[in-house]
Amino acid sequence: MILQSLKELAEREGLTEDLDYEPKLVAWVISLDETGRYLGITSTAMPQGPKGKLLPKTVRIPRRAGRTSADLADFLIDKPEYVLGIAADPDLPVKRKAKLEPRRLLFLAGIEAAAQATGNVALQAVAAFLQSDADRILCAGDLTRQSFASNDLIAFEVAGSLVHEDPQVRLHFAGNRGSSGEPAVQCLVCGGVRPPVDKHPSVHVRQGSPSGIALVSFNSAAFESHGWERNANAPVCRNCAEGYTTGLRRLLSNRYPDPKRPGENCSPRSIGLTNDTVAVFWADSANDSLDLFAAIFESPDPASVQALLDSPWKGRDMPALSTRFYCLLISGAQGRATLRGVHSALLADVEANVREYFACIAPYSATPLPLYVLLRSLAVQRKPENLPPGLAGQVFLAILFGARYPRTLLSYAVQRCRAEQAVPRERAAVLNLFLYRNLKHKELNMGLNRESPEAGYRLGRLLAVLERMQTQANQGLNKTIVDRYYGAASTRPGTVFPSLIRLAPHHIAKLKNPAFLQRDLGEVLEGLDSFPAHLSLEDQGLFALGYYHQRQDYFKKRDGVPAVDASEGDQNHE
């Protein structure tokens, strides 16, 4: 079961040892002295990542209560409107402005109660600061001058120590997190009889709601059954709900702090497939081949791909034969998250499938092409939103799990070749993937195959030979036969090729050194009995690949080193 597997992942990675606290970006720290006198407010932003982008620090803070639109103050750390009663937007509508003061008082009341219950000096200092209008206004002025966002979190330090890290404060917070008050029932995940959570913690998903989305939720009567209300339909205890959500958050975030390596993040386990769909993956035991996966699909570096292709598991842990691999596709839209499926297989099999994928696309580019570049080449104007929804996910799952590629992949590739009268390398790579796996055309994997008897393939090669003759005979043509006839030649060869063949002798007569192309023409024609009236979709795919292979062969240098045709293809994959 998926929730269980996510919870186990979080436990295995040591992420659940302190479920009362969770990692969050904290943008600002207000410094106070022991009496609560205001000393200053500082930004935690530091340059991070390869581009040195300024980002706030990730800090483990008391777990958020899961606020919706209602007023609800979180403990000790919150947004400017709750901590200081100020808004980032100076032109806030009157209705929203009226909420600022009640929210500030709500936050203050939480601190006052905690300070009183614990007698903790640091909490008392924070309460004193919040009660002092003069200090608070001073602080708000400092923050406004530095400019802030409405979602920035603000923490406190007293006499140089972060208040939320004070052991007494931790204990107080943990003890105060009550249960939902629901009667105990059997938890779906652990099987224990415990009070179920009233509301599942939220996760952030692309295109989902900014406040996050709960993976399990029943917000409409249509999803409820047996007379149970809301989450009683799927009772999960708090420990399990926070455990599985922690696992999922870790998978979705590329900056989730690794408790085993202080200062470092957990290895990425997510791959963006489209604007709104992300794939996350994990295995039921730690394995470093997983570390390769995230990188090689999004921005494959040649060395990692080569390592995967050359020698399985060389220099890496060999996956135990029983290690299972899981993949989950998550899409966000209109504030909801959709799980597009949970898939599982043995990790060793997945790795073999991924190797096959890279072996299929390797001949088409000196540096391996990222998956999104391949998919984009199938879209009108190369805009991914012009592809059928779900295609990227289906293709990704087919790559990993060795399933047949969807036929849509072939039809889109063929359609784009026809519409653009061209076969760029990305589309040739996609065609090769499809023909290799779905139609078992393994003989075409290494580029031009002069032996292949496939009529579609030969006809595609023929078009490339005739185009070469034409362009060699007439330099500086505006339009070649490919620009005019690719579409017809690839679908109804019988209507085009007989007249093109009749033109060939005129071109040959103009060539300085015709023997080479004459040989190619003879070789291709020898395998063709006739020009078919119609080519099937599969044959049109073979046609495009044959055309591409033959054409690339003419761009090869004489010493046999392939020269990529710089005039075509998607050069700007950033």
Task: Give φ, ψ of 99 to 5 degrees.
Answer: -85, -15
What x-and-dash track marks residues 132-151 binding Zn ion by CB under 5 A?
--------------------
List of E strands, 290-350: 324-333, 336-346
Query: Smallest distance from the beta carbon of 196 to Zn ion, in angstroms?
Result: 9
Between 128 and 187, whose beta carbon lies closer to Zn ion?
A: 187
Is 190 among the residues that bind Zn ion (CB under 5 A)?
A: yes
Query: Smallest distance from the beta carbon of 68 to Zn ion, in angstroms?
Result: 24
Q: How far apart are CA 530 and CA 524, in angstroms?
A: 12
Query: Smallest distance from the beta carbon of 223 to Zn ion, in angstroms?
Result: 21
Q: Name beta bridge partners: 38.
A: 32
Is 187 among the residues that bind Zn ion (CB under 5 A)?
A: yes
Instruction: Tell me which of 76, 83, 203, 240 binds Zn ion, using CB under 5 A.
Output: 240
Q: Which residue has the tokens 């290895």?
A: 267
Is 3 among the residues that bind Zn ion (CB under 5 A)?
A: no
Q: Which of the ranges 53-61, 185-193, 322-330, 336-344 carries the binding residues for Zn ion, by CB under 5 A?
A: 185-193
Q: Which of the ranges 233-241, 307-315, 482-490, 508-516 carries the binding residues for Zn ion, by CB under 5 A?
A: 233-241
Q: Which residue has the tokens 């075409």?
A: 444
CA 304 to chain CA centroid, Å, is: 19
Note whether 397 and 277 are within 8 A (CB).
no
Is 237 among the residues that bind Zn ion (CB under 5 A)?
A: yes
Residues 512-531 that bind Zn ion (CB under 5 A): none
Query: Smallest distance from the beta carbon of 182 to Zn ion, in angstroms?
Result: 13
Q: Which residue has the tokens 């003759």?
A: 469
DSSP secondary structure letter of residue 78: B
3-state DSSP call for residue 542?
helix
Between 10 and 465, whose beta carbon lies closer to Zn ion?
A: 10
Between 19 and 542, whose beta carbon lies closer to Zn ion?
A: 19
> Shortest CA distance to 297 belongs to which of 365, 360, 374, 364?
374
Is 387 among the residues that bind Zn ion (CB under 5 A)?
A: no
Binding-residue total with Zn ion (CB under 5 A): 5
Q: Name beta bridge partners: 46.
A: 55
Q: Which of the ranges 48-56, 175-183, 190-198, 392-400 carries the binding residues for Zn ion, by CB under 5 A?
A: 190-198
Between 249 and 269, whose beta carbon lies closer to Zn ion?
A: 249
Query: Smallest distance from the beta carbon of 181 to Zn ion, in angstroms?
Result: 17
Instruction: Tell me which of 27, 128, 163, 189 binds Zn ion, using CB under 5 A.
Output: 189
**Six-digit token pair at 539?**
């044959």
Is 19 among the residues that bind Zn ion (CB under 5 A)?
A: no
CA 318 to chain CA centroid, Å, is: 26
**Which helix or strand (DSSP H or E) is residue 157 part of?**
strand 154-158
3-state DSSP call for residue 203?
strand
Note whether 149 and 27 are within 8 A (CB).
yes
Task: Give contact residues for Zn ion (rule: CB under 5 A).
Answer: 187, 189-190, 237, 240
